[in-house]
Structure 1
């Protein structure tokens, strides 16, 4: 039994075609063939075959199609669909799938010891194609697979062209190069190959004319000039550079021109026994590691935080939450007051657990509370992920829903970590969530993303300030243990003045590190003598100016919650009860409760016991600052 995907879906037993049913049933089989010898979950199959257009009782339909397909494949012992833990699997010899034969031959061609051998293998690989891959199978997932396979085919054609040009086979490949540039007018590597072939065939004028056409097409479509390689080749052709002449002797040239190279038989032990993923391309489409050239494996995480201390309990909690059930996407939300180190915690855990995510890591800063930039629209965030996963610009749809669907298709079945930093609300995050098991998502936000927790089952982790010992360790990490140990009382005072807030401690540590000759006691006296406690945490960089960092949290509040926050700054002390809020606002208790709840969701106050609230000392100082500037009306 053999399976063909490089054209219409084709199933044959001993060379005779097998009818595998109507279009939807064929789509189920194709979804299994793409991931042959790997388990595909039921959710993945539903997503691949139906997308969002799912009928009622879709699982019953899927099980019916799988049952019928088992009967159709029973004619041969070479392939079988079986139920596995977590899904279904098509077991088949790798060499029985044309995509595998294509990928294995292309990989061998790239590793071949001679150009003649490589050219023969590339020709044999490309002969596997019968037309457009997965023809007549519709849906976003099939579109993405089709695009990935098409890119692999183009990569093999380009590599074969390079081999032919090295061997003096310019005349042999010239017709195919001309057809290729008509199909891919913006591909500069293809343009270079056609120009070189034309020049070597004595058609210098046509080579220069093609450069002009390509330059015009790039300007009109992309607003860009040709790249350096294409520009250099143009100059060398203008100068009739003698090094552009082919190096191959007459025998190799004639051999290529006649297409007379000896082909290499397919039936060989290395191909027949190779596992499905061998020499393969990870497209990100449900672990479809069966294509011919390596797609990018994104490694987008920023570096690990250098001065990270403590948080052992929180790291352990994230580890347990993100281990999760094997048949679902697991999500954790790190939430808390600005400056508590949510991003640092996310990066520390991510770098400590990289081995769990061999297919890569995606990272995006949604700028939900950035003091100097607007929040990143979900459409742009998904577009950045698609680019990282290897989607070509022409394959990326415009709308955010369509982009999210393509993203879910590309990431399905891969074991990846998705880190979504600085989210403003759940709506900004939802398009970035994978749709099938295998991935973990780590979100940071200043607000309680209740929608992700309630509807999506995300694990919420509220991050508070450091313990006193952790705060001292942070200063020691930044300033050196000897300097901190020499002035324990001053260090204790600094920790208290900073309210054990990691950002405030880091700002103070940066000042102290820039003044190594200053005793810490003198630096400690500055906040006490300042007119406003926040003045000790001011700076020119919005990311390390405490007022600038806190400002987006305040600006996101509604009118009632914003007024209550300013009123808190006029009260002595940092604690209050619900009745105090109603009295401050001079409103009914339910309206005061709503304002308090909004402050709690924004982590500008903490409900440390039912009905009892507290405000961090530096937040209280910020509220007083706002009240002095804006009033409390």
Structure 2
């Protein structure tokens, strides 16, 4: 008998691993694609005797070797596939099938945990209803079984009834997978994990087994199923297999194969010492020793905080091995196969599509028209533009149609699927294109810190990344064509599907979009939808009532699904009764959108709402108070005054009733119309006092959590001073669980934000809601508006385009003005100044920071005064006013000293050190930077620490101490990589490139300068983009590549002129003048004139030195002497040793040419300086 594809794939992978070949190397040998090898190794090629596989076997030396015998005879194929290692998924007859509503899906999941084994009715009742089963529970189980049998009917053998798949026995219900028992990923996992020997085949099979896991067992099911003993057993087996696999990978030196699985397991098992021990060793063996040590520290702290225990022997031993570097060498050191160049990191393949709509019905014509848009290989999608718009009224099913079709064709877009809800008709307002671009760029693998800061550059990067990819982009709920256009990728392999209530005529006329109207369902499609959701028996028993129900729902898919959910929850209720109540109920015209259809939705909402019990109705109403596009579990608990567990139970009920949608774990969304309905019920049923109390509780909790995150991430950022109820937003991140009372805020959930990483995740999750809360509070003239906005100030610098910070600042500023709060106004002007800097508009930022200064002084807020002075100094530095900036910083330092910081604030000292350096006061600059380095860590963020070490390296380099400069720059780069603060990497690399250039390591210098240029281009700040190009030009010039250097300098000059940065203009001109063999004196003179118009003494002196050298080359030795003497005096005053040595060399040659004096002293001093700098032969350039 033959072996399964999984076994064949494991055999191939084992042989490849034993030979030390990568998939790319094997593909080259065998003449097949890398993707083909990947498919075979994953067991996805059902017929492995084709010519490609024969070539593959020959390349591995397996063409004469017998294949391994299978573990067992495969027998018949499984009847169906039911996967539980992640979300529950069901495939019947080769097609994915939705398992049904929550209770029905839960029953199927329970049976899947016991394949081939009966499950008693008692256990089913316990799992489905816990301690509160309804009297009709056994009848309801029978109903669910009947429906499941209908779903599984295609899996029955010819002549066998559907009951043969799901059997009723004396012991209970039994699910018979048939075949060889491999009808689930759990069964395949158990089989693949069964080889205990440490062989290549066992190693490869373990890898295949671990890749079957898509998440936690039944991760989308209720907790009683996730925590079922059978689920726990599978999880334990996974950990056992993973640890053995990791041990084998470590022994073989192939740790990169195990890192992904270990990281996934560590996230799911945050206290498992065995997993973390192996992850530490794998990280260290991959060259990430710092990350391994950080992992140990974090786990040690968690064990102490949560369990009160110390690390065990396994973890301690791993820690010691990392410290001693007691690690196996990588596989490439032990193989005779010639190594190929390390492959580049594969591009991220985003998969952002939401869940496919359960029981999707009809729309055959729409699906066919969408299918016609699919391009042939290498062709642009039909219609030319690659854009299609589904337009129609709210609730017509546009999103369901788009998502369903996208799931059907996603294999045609192997480079990924992007999805965003543009909230075109949401109470929170539409998503700005730059926010959507930010999400897309993050999904495509761009680091958060590298997302461009302007809409134009973000769109450029997005189109660049999409140009050569086959992407499916779904833009849901667009408000108009202007919102859509920046999100069109433009690549020939991309297809964009837009949904909107707007006709999008402009998108069709200008952009060539093909429009497909989506109206309500036909009567026949409505009947089919009811068939699928309620079952044919119930609908066909009263077809007239079914037709009336569909008519009363306006044939709107959303209304039909809600009505069906009501009937599913009340199986004793007739369709006639439901239709009559829907027809005769009190319909409010306030929710009318387009005629009777939306009114029918209103009636359906009424029935769904009234079917809920009182606690669920109250939760539904109060959720209308939570601003933003979605609701988290903790926010729901706060606004309802409940413990999180109680709130979770109510949210599950609302989800089951289709009043909410859990789009990911613990995050809930509502349809726009449902949100409007909830707001109306809130106004009608809750008193003004109760609404106010719930809002106050929510604001208090948001302030506490946001303030806690701000202190973890930005410890040096001074909060607003306390004033009244909303003064204390400190929070302690502790475990106060409250008493579970019914009043809003009585049962405040604990802040599960233990560290900086958790704080970033929380802020990123909640940022759209926090922005909406600021706007809502501002409209209410509530203090929470400015306090929340101020608490988010630090995060605005790392998420520059995630929300519209200027809009937030303006709204909160209006509220602060209405309250006549000068300190609050100061904080909001500070936020607005930062928003202007995000857009590279320093001149526009200055008035805001000046108002921050004046209002802080007026309100008696010294910390705000110091912040304003520091920001004014930074902006003045950007526009070239260095002396004024230094004065601001000296004033800020005095304020900080009076406020209990005798050495000054590290941010102020850092900024002052940079300013003094550019003023040519290098020794004073070094003193301030060392003060910033010595400052207590709780006063500065990781970002400021990186910048401090980078600037210490830069200043020490200028002062002629390359050894210590190298140490500080290396420390800065290590901090970047340990913290993930990628936004500072370019800053460090730009300084390092100059150091490497001067030491003669031009290859490394070029790599660093090129990387810095690329990273700064992603950030979009013209100043640093120009500066990086000047550094790149100097390295290219040293490499004797004048043509490329010319391009770099000219690009720098253009950026500097656009930015108005005169010192960069001067430096770019100096670079251009040095390209030719005979330096351009006119260009250097122009640079000198520009430099003298600035306060950048170092640039002035550099220009004088260049002019002296040019005059000497042109035979004007006497003129050169004058310029050189002036430059030398300036260099002696600043302390810039390398420039002094270069000037001494020029002066020596010039006086030698004139015969005025002996050149020997100048030459000797220059030689001594060059030697001390490690440049024994002078300027290597």
| TM-score (structure 1 length as normaliser) | 0.45
Query: Larger relative contact order (C-alpha < 8 A, sep ≥ 6)?
Result: 1
| Structure with the greater alpha carbon radius of gyration | 2
| Greater helix share, structure number | 2
Relative to the length of structure 2, the TM-score reads 0.25
Is the strand fraction higher in 1 or 2? 1
